Structure 1
Amino acid sequence: MSTIALAAAFAGAATPALADDAPEDIIITAIGAAQNADETGQAVTIIDRAAIERSQAVVATDLLMRTPGVSVTRTGGPGAVTALRIRGAEDGQTLVLIDGVRAGDPSAPSGAFDFGHLMIGNFDRIEVVRGPNSVPWGSQALGGVVNIMTARPAEGLQARARAEYGSYDSVNATAQLSGSSGAFSGSIGGNWYRTDGVSQFAGGAERDGFRQYDANARLGIALGEDFDIDLRGNFADSRTDLDGFAPPTYAFGDTDEYSTAREIYGYAGLNARLFDGKLKNRLAFVIADIDRDNFNPDFGPAPSFLARGRTERFEYQGDLALSEMFRAVFGAETETSKLLTDDGFSRTAAKTGIDSFYGQIVVKPVAALTLTGGVRHDDHEQFGGHTTIGANAALKLGTGTLLRANYGEGFKAPTLFQLDASLTGYGNRLLKPEQAKSYDVGIQQTLLDGALVAGVTLFQRRTRNQIDFISCAAPLTGICANRPYGTYDNIARARAKGLEFLLEMKPVEALDFTASYSFTDAENRTPGANFGKDLARRPRHTVTATVDYAPMEGLSLGADVLHVGDSFDNAANSVRLDSYVLTGIRAAYTIDGRFTLYGRVDNLFDVNYQTVSGYGTFGRAAYIGVRAGF
């Protein structure tokens, strides 16, 4: 109740810029194609370039954790394994897109994208859809979708750069160049980051560092008025120091272990506009290739474990707009996923495929009402066919009121790691896909010519056939036959319900205030000892507040507060993670419109907290930097 009172005191709302959800904004993630933000009944948060620069964030999750309905856990400092959960769903149930490429890792047990290596770098925009959205996006979009877009080519020639230094000997440098000439347009950028970090083991005496360099590029080639080629690529190379479980005690503590990762995401597309632009066509090939290696110097220079995950995908999408009242978005996809693992004793290779077809209809029977409905069918090599539906409505009233309603279904195919029985005996080829059904309704009210925007969303999601790992004990019978180390099975059911309360205020031109309150009740509904208990690492209450003030031309001041409520670290709810409040302050001064000097202090009050039991986190940290644009 004290947390709810705190949220009411903030009168607060939600996103890093709720005003970005204005009617003139275009979103892509809701239906997989461009759409006005106020014409979807789904809950979408938009984080644009201005919000990214104001935040001064370097690690993407430092910004995403302030999004309504999102929680983040990390096993140490930057580079450590980082999980993002939307509305209480599992981290492997969040689909991540990087410039249109699905970025999940087929070699990871749950296929989850590791946010630990995701630097803000040259991001121009992030869209977050909260709730299942499998019709346009397919498998893994069960909890929600995070769509990340890098800088698009600009007209003429533009350049920008950023460099900063701060606590823990942290260095970050970013540069981006973009432009166009005739039929060609392009952008290229790079980012480098290193830090001494903190000990992953909370009681450790040595720091575990992290370094990463990454690059992004886009190239557009116009082949006339109605045809063009779109090429995109992203690359990241990283090394993360680890702590582990060393003999003879095998207790968690300081070790010399480390891991490396290389990630490549590529997109090649052909766009064609036919019938005076009424029918837009997109044909694309996308690839995601992720290599992970773990090293333990105590056992020699060779990797102690390696994993290779690769996804190749062909996509076609059609977008037919017959009038302002009727639109159809449809498509077909075929995907192949591959996995290779080697633990020094055995080497395993596996692959699978999935073919998909989908269609969505968007109608506006009257100008104020937009109705969207869709269906998708996926045919997986292992578990066969599955059909998903979704529908939503958005109603704009003349009073500045926007009403939303949404029903969404989601499904997630079992991963190669979970399916393949040859993977040290863990796999189970009889697995069924995880499925979810979600409902949410919301209202957003705009007053005082946009100076005040408030909104609230209520949601509920039920998940069944959730895949969990189960331990096996002798005698090995039934599902445990020939699996002495355990296996995966469809044993779990879960339910999540809650609300997201949002508010943005601009009382005067120089002052912006945003805040949010999220309540998430994520509960285990699996019959057994843990029935009715909270799902692990899902805080029930989260409050955020951000204020930005520009007292004079060129100068901006800001502060952020994040309150995360209590949660549990395990399914049995026997290990508690205490609540915490993090406060940050920042300032920036722009010189001659091109150069900006900035600085910030994170965790101002040096709060000691943990998001995963036993793992360390940053204390108070200060950073200074310079940003330039030409």
Structure 2
Amino acid sequence: MNSILRCLAVSAMWWLLLVGSAAAQSNAIRGRILDEQGSPVPNARVALQGRDVSVRLTTVSSANGEYAFENVAGREYLIEAEAPGFARTTRRVTPGEAADITLKVEGIADVVVVTAAGAPQTVDEVSKAITVIDRQEILDRNEFALYEVLRTAPGIQILNNGGPGAFTQLRTRGLRPDATAILYDGLRFRDASTTQGDATSFMSNLNFVDFGRVEFLRGSGSSLYGTNAVGGVVNIVSNPGGGPTTGSLQLEGGGLGLFRGRFQLQGGLAGDRFTYSFATTHLNVTRGVNGWTPTRSTGVQGTLRYDFTPNISLTGRVNASDDFVALQISPTTAGIPAANFPTVGVIPARFLPADQVRRLIAGVPSSQIIWGDTTIIPNRQDPDNRRSSDFAMGAVIFNHTINPTVGYRVAWQRVHTARVFQNGPGGFGFQPVTSNFLNYVGDIDTVDARVNWQPARWFTFTAGYEFEHEAYFDRQDNRLPDPQRRVNVQTNISQNAHAGYFQAQFRLLEDRLQLSLSGRTQGFRLNRPTFVATGTTSAYANVQLKAPPTAYTGDISASYFVPTTRTKLRAHVGNAYRAPALYERFGGGFFNNPRTGLVNFTPYGDPFLAPDRYNSFDAGVDQYFFRDRLQIGITGFYTRVVQITAFDSSGVLNPATDPYGRSSGYINGSGGISRGVEVSFNARPTTTLTLNGSYTHTSAGTDRDVSVRGFFRIFGVAEHTFTFVANQALGKRVNINFDLAAYSRTYASLFAVNRSRAFEVPGYVKADVMGSYTLPVGNDRTLRFYGQVENMFNRRYFTGNGWLAPGVVGRGGVAFQF
């Protein structure tokens, strides 16, 4: 099957190249940037993007508003123009036509988005639910972590276990964290060494370094983006650089013992033939929540692009981060009197007051603690438990538009991840005898080649082939001095995957009707794992390896735009998948046999697990009002989880009949349903005020009561969420930003009185305010002084199964722009 896919992909590329082998036509795109009175707008930033992502050129308008792009070969392009004081504007252009662009003072910014179709589109062309958070909004809100940037988007919920650097999950439309794909410039970022093979293990360390914008696609996207693109896709678009050399230096400090520094530089040379952007940031939190969770993070991000011609380019990108965080003891019920827990039903989460938590930490016996009606002890300090981690990813992308009909792209990316856990005997509850050591390393190499064929302006066809090699390594060492109790083992696992995909896009009825059809098939080839241990054999040693089940996906979306009423109707249906992680295929635990002194291996994985499968549908309407000053979107969604990989210890697995002798482990289990509605609005009622917000209703449940008997709701998912962001500019120097996120109650699973029980965790409201003053200090140089208050109402709240969130936190800083 894999050989057939490779042959088909190569044949398709050569055929399309031959079809488009006619001499490339070189044309120019010229025009003027004007205001609504017809006056020229100088120094406007103008970006030209090809329909197949192969071309992205930038320039700046002259004193009389003129701009030009020479010798472009494509059939159709999108132009995006922006200038201070105007709303960003986009339009479709073809080489040779007059391409004047009028910028409006008022109205919602019109942006070019990539993630919805894997190629540039204007907002009115997008047939899927998507939210774009641009660079300016990130700066106005002063967010330093990706999960905080996304917190105000519809359809997504954030679970953060205790502030900066703490373990963080994203849940899109009520689905598991592994159902959201994280991309950098359209290429997947995930950790091959984590249990589910997704990006969750590094979500707390994906900080704002040099983002150009963040695009959040809601709904299935596996046909374009492969594994994990199930409930949604988060695409971090790098800052492309270009234009005159500019930069910034930011220094910030405040509550939680926080210090943050960020330096950024961008520009272009030789008329933007060579463009670059580079940034580095350092975050240091010395105390954290209640002084227990210090964390550090140092990150870099950079992009270089060279245009050999206007139609041939080479882009390089690098992202890296080095991080440390002190870990805490998880919330627990251990020590709470049994009488505090009702024998049946859902248990209300009542958290031990802060003064009593401090007494526990000080060593006061449980019998002297004033428990009251407490049902959960929140997270506490673990003095010798820590995690250090790093990731590094690099990509090289070659783009070539051969002629108006054919273009192609070849991309290579490598993602390296590493995590080290060390935990000693200090702390509460069960702790190791001595400091242990766990090391996890993942490597993923991806090669993606695609051809774009546009035989007519209204039709574009894309075909591609993707190869992925992923490798997993772990080392476990309990560091016990007794040789008969020592466990020091290593595991190496790897697999290859081959995928072929296509997409056909139609723009009909004078571009009012947009249709998109796409499909993907991905096959897997397993490599036999190796285990380095003393006195044990692997349950997988004699397994006859064969190809696991192949993943197939299909996707159809459509939208119709009514220009007279400024209404867009859209619908999207498709299926999606998540490929089982290497640990889910071959993972296991190593344990010491005290009688023999040898190491025993207990298998958890199944090499032949089928991919998780999802079917989803959503439909919605986007309506524009008041000359595009207000946009309201409503989307209803339904996702059926057909099959999902789950860890089962309920007795379904029988060691006598299981081929690996397992009594517990990963199986293809039953799924569930998630459905709901998303309502969002964007408004720019005046030239200086922007507003946006959302409400999401989510109802998510499982087919089986896997975690708690008789309980079918999804843990950690709020039924109701509300977000709101307001930004007000007062003149040219003062800017005020307010944002709010509100969550209704959620449910958590904890062990209480000898069995797993469901707990009801109260909802919360978190509001932040940010103010800044910009002082000019010379030509094109400014100093921006700012202050920020997070959780301004100082609400004491908990997330997940009882993780205490930070109280009111103040920060302040200065940014020098040059």
Q: TM-score, normalised by structure 2?
A: 0.71
Q: Specify the alignment match of 1:75 in structure 2.
A: 161
Contact 2:408 2:451 in 1 (8 A): yes
Deviations 1:158-193 (A, max 9, x none): 212222111011011111111221243222210100
CA offsets, 1:59-80, max 9 Å, x none? 2212211110000112222111
Task: Give unpaired runs (5+ residues) of structure 2.
Answer: 1-86, 91-107, 336-376, 426-431, 478-486, 526-546, 590-601, 751-755
Change (3 A) 1:19 1:540: farther
Q: Deviations over 1:528-557 (max 9, x none)?
A: 775772101010100111222223331122
* 1:158 partner letter: T
Which residue of 2 is the match for residue 387 of structure 1?
A: 552
CA distance in 1, matches of 2:801, 2:156: 19
- Report if aligned partners of 1:230, 1:268 keep a CA contact under 8 Å in 2: yes
One-letter amino acid of the counterpart of residue 117, structure 1: N
The Cα offsets for residues 265-303 of structure 1, whole Å up to 9 and x where unpaired, read as 110121111024x32211111111000001125579986
The equivalent of 1:616 in structure 2 is 804
Q: Are 2:292 and 1:211 aligned? A: no
Partner residue of 1:296?
A: 423
Match of 1:164 in 2: 252
Q: Does 1:273 align with 2:361?
A: no
Offset from partner CA, 1:544-577 (integer Å, 9 cap, x none) = 1122222333112222221101110139771112
- 2 CA distance for matches of 1:75 and 1:85? 14
Alpha-carbon distance, 1:207 to partner? 1.3
1:342 matched to 2:475: yes
Q: Distance in 2 between matches of 1:302 and 1:75?
A: 23
Supply the AA of the counterpart residue of 1:391. I
Alignment of 1:69-468 (within 5 A): 69-114=155-200, 115-182=203-270, 183-199=273-289, 206-244=291-329, 253-255=380-382, 256-276=384-404, 278-298=405-425, 304-344=437-477, 345=487, 346-367=489-510, 368-381=512-525, 382-398=547-563, 399-421=565-587, 424-468=602-646
Amino acid in structure 2 at the alignment position of 1:351: S
Deviates more, 1:333-342 or 1:467-476: 467-476
CA distance in 2, matches of 1:284, 1:454: 37
Aligned residues: 604
Q: Distance in 2 between matches of 1:565 and 1:301?
A: 42
Whole-angstrom distance in 2 between the partners of 1:221 and 1:624 = 38
- Give the equivalent residue in structure 2 for 1:549: 728
Structure 1 pair 573/19, CA: closer, same or farther in 2 (3 Å)? Answer: farther
Match of 2:694 in 1: 516
Measured in 2, the distance between the counterparts of 1:385 and 1:245 equals 38
What RMSD, in angstroms, separates the aligned Cα atoms of the two structures? 2.5
- Structure 1 window deviating more from structure 2 (321-330 vs 257-266): it is 321-330
Query: 1:582-622: CA deviations, max 9, x gaps?
Result: 11111111112722211111101111111122322110001
Contact 1:354 1:379 in 2 (8 A): yes
Cα distance, 1:98 vs structure 2:
2.1
CA distance in 1, matches of 2:578, 2:759: 29
Range with bigger deviation, 586-595 or 373-382: 586-595
What is the rounded CA distance, in whole Å, between the counterparts of 1:100 and 1:503 in structure 2? 26
**Counterparts of 1:152 and 1:321, CA distance in 2:** 26
CA–CA distance in structure 2, aligned partners of residues 193 and 40 of structure 1:
37
1:627 counterpart = 2:809? no
How far is the alpha carbon of 1:527 from its aligned partner? 6.6
Structure 1 residue 411: Cα displacement: 0.4
Amino acid at match of 1:283: V
Deviation for aligned residue 1:88: 0.8
**Helix, strand or coil for the counterpart of 1:136?**
helix
Instruction: Read off the aligned partner of 1:258 and give its amino acid letter.
Output: R
Partners of 1:385 and 1:534 in 2: CA distance: 30
User: How much has 1:477 moved relative to structure 2?
Assistant: 4.0
CA distance in 1, matches of 2:89, 2:208: 19
The structure-2 alpha-carbon separation of the partners of 1:125 and 1:36, relative to structure 1 and needing over 3 Å to count, comes to same
Secondary structure (helix, strand or coil) at the match of 1:105 reads: coil
One-letter identity of the residue aligned with 1:308 = V
Report SS of the residue matched to 2:315.
strand
Cα–Cα, structure 1 residues 518 and 197, in superposed 2: closer, same or farther, change >3 Å?
A: farther
Change (3 A) 1:312 1:531: farther
Give the 3-state SS of the residue equivalent to 1:257 in structure 2.
Answer: strand
User: Normalised by the size of structure 1, how large is the TM-score?
Assistant: 0.91
8 A Cα contact 1:525 1:532, kept in partner? no
CA contact (8 A) 2:210 2:278 kept: no
- Contact 1:313–1:334 at 8 Å: present in 2 too? yes
Secondary structure, counterpart of 2:718 in structure 1: coil
Matched with 1:11 is none
How far the C-alpha of 1:394 sits from its partner, in A, is 1.3
Match of 1:32 among 93, 118, 131: 118
CA–CA separation in structure 2 for the residues paired with 1:606 and 1:490: 44
Whole-angstrom distance in 2 between the partners of 1:495 and 1:45 = 24
